[in-house]
Amino acid sequence: MAGHSKWANIQHRKGRQDAVRSKLFSKLSKEITVAAKMGDPDPDKNPRLRLAVKEAKSQSVPKDVIDRAIKKSTAAEGDDYEEIRYEGYGPNGVAVIVEAMTDNRNRTASTVRSTFSKNGGNLGETGSVGFMFDRKGEVVYGADAGDADSIFEAAIEAGAEDVESSEDGHIIWCEDTDLNDVSNALEAALGESESTKLVWKPTTTTEMDLEGMQKLMKLIDALEDDDDVQRVTANFEASDEVMEQL
């Protein structure tokens, strides 16, 4: 999907800011705690936890932070988080999916709804935009991992469905239920990935101009600033010229 890799690059640049990285570490730690609490605290016996730890490591989360997050899952006083998905529309009718983990559903719903309203969007019902996305596994490798042909061959051998290669690197897609096995096979063939996670992949996109992208970025930034929000996905598509102006 055009725009997807560009958005990943925007997120990567933002991730260099200390404040943003601190918030990212917190959200990755929360995912580790929840994954460990829902299954086994041993990553080798818990595929979701293994993926959460792998993603945290790819984002340079320190080992002691990861270990602390796993231990927190067995603490009696640990918070009980609920996973919630919100769906709505942003500027220019862009479909937006917000994934959250919260210990207070009313607080999070109120904040997300208010954020949509204040930034030219509209929170809808569950399922209102979900049909425009597929749940997929996504594994990202840098351009130095190999050329497009060798990466494609390794990906198909590992059980992946498709590969999107560009000068920035390679995005490998697979069924959501196959992500753990595919990522393990890819790691054996290509080494450690830059990112391994479950994503919402748009099946249809909305073309955005510069003004629309500026408004959309403002909405996404505001949503991601909420500690309860884990991830935000939008089905935008924008030209190279628009992305460069951003």
| CATH number (domain holding residue 36) | 1.10.10.200
pLDDT tens figures, 197-240? 899 999 999 998 899 899 999 999 999 999 999 999 999 988 88
Sign of CA dihedral 72, 76, 79, 82: positive
Non-local (6+) Cβ contacts of 115 within 8 A are: 121, 219, 222, 223, 226
| CATH number (domain holding residue 193) | 3.30.70.980
Is 188 in the same domain as 209?
A: no
Residue 127: strand, helix, or coil: coil
Strands 162-166 and 206-207: unpaired
Q: How many independent structural domains does the chain possess?
A: 3
Model pTM?
Answer: 0.82
pLDDT tens figures, 116-173? 999 999 999 989 999 999 999 999 999 999 999 999 999 999 999 999 999 889 999 9
Domain around 9: 4-72
